[in-house]
Amino acid sequence: MKIVVIIIICLLILFCLNRLIIFKLKKDIIYKKLKELNRFYFFYNTPKKIVIEELVNSKKSLLKYNFQEKVLSLINNNQDNLLIYIQDIYHNKKYLKEYNKEYLSILNSMNYNKIKKYYLKKLLNNIKLKPRISFSLKIKVIYKNYKVYKIYKYDDLLLLVKKLKDVKLRKELKRKFMKMERNKMSLGLRYDVLKRDNFKCCVCGYGSLDNVKLHVDHIIPVSRGGKTKLDNLQTLCNRCNLGKSDKV
């Protein structure tokens, strides 16, 4: 019985000593530096995994399911906050590198004895920021008792985000190009084209005397990269222009 009491007393003494050491270390300048560093940096909380289930109506649809198209749609529409989480992880990874450099600098500035270093490192590790820098997306496709799934890691998702942004950028540039080229169609240029073509449709030959409305058309459509230049313009009547649409 005495031995048990002695052991309990020793454990209590050790516990109290440990708490006393921690209390003193929390007043140490190194500990305060890390606390200050932690206040300076902000990291996002993100889930470890997102799971999305989708039901299909046939086994054929299950086997031919386009996972990449589904992920691009999820990112584009920010379904289940997917795009936000990808951006949050990107932020965390970027600033964690800087944080770790400063953290190591604080550790290297310690000039204490081994015992104090040991306890202080342990204490610092407990308050060190450890943000999530990765997560995964699991897509499960289900048809009755059949299931297929695919897992996308953060790096896979980031590549798809860049791909989607590239597509959007190309669309935006194309829209601006088309607007710019159409704005180049001045009244003077339109008259020059009509006069060159004798005020007649280059396809059917009808002109203004035949009671048809004449249009100035891009031979290579603007939507396909055609420019508003004299050699890429022709006179078409409204019917021929309608039939040509955006064909070359």
Angle at 51 between CA 70 and CA 48, to 5 degrees: 120
Return the DSSP state at 200.
B
pLDDT the model gives residue 222: 82
User: CA–CA separation, 165 vs 152, rounded Å?
Assistant: 18
pTM above 0.85, yes or no: no
pLDDT of residue 65: 92
Ordered by start, the domain boundaries in the chain are: 16-175, 185-244
pLDDT digits (tens, 9 = 90+) for 102-112: 999 988 887 77
pLDDT of residue 151: 95
| H or E element, residue 178 | helix 154-183
Q: Are 217 and 246 in contact (CB under 8 A)?
A: no
> Residue 93 and residue 38: Cα distance in Å, rounded?
16
Encode the chain (248 residues) as per-residue pLDDT tens digits: 667 666 666 666 665 656 655 556 567 778 888 888 888 888 999 999 999 999 999 988 888 999 988 988 888 888 888 888 988 999 999 999 999 999 999 888 877 778 777 877 888 888 899 999 999 999 999 998 899 999 999 999 988 888 888 777 667 667 777 888 888 888 888 999 999 989 999 988 888 788 888 999 988 888 777 888 888 899 989 888 887 766 55
Residue 4: predicted pLDDT: 63
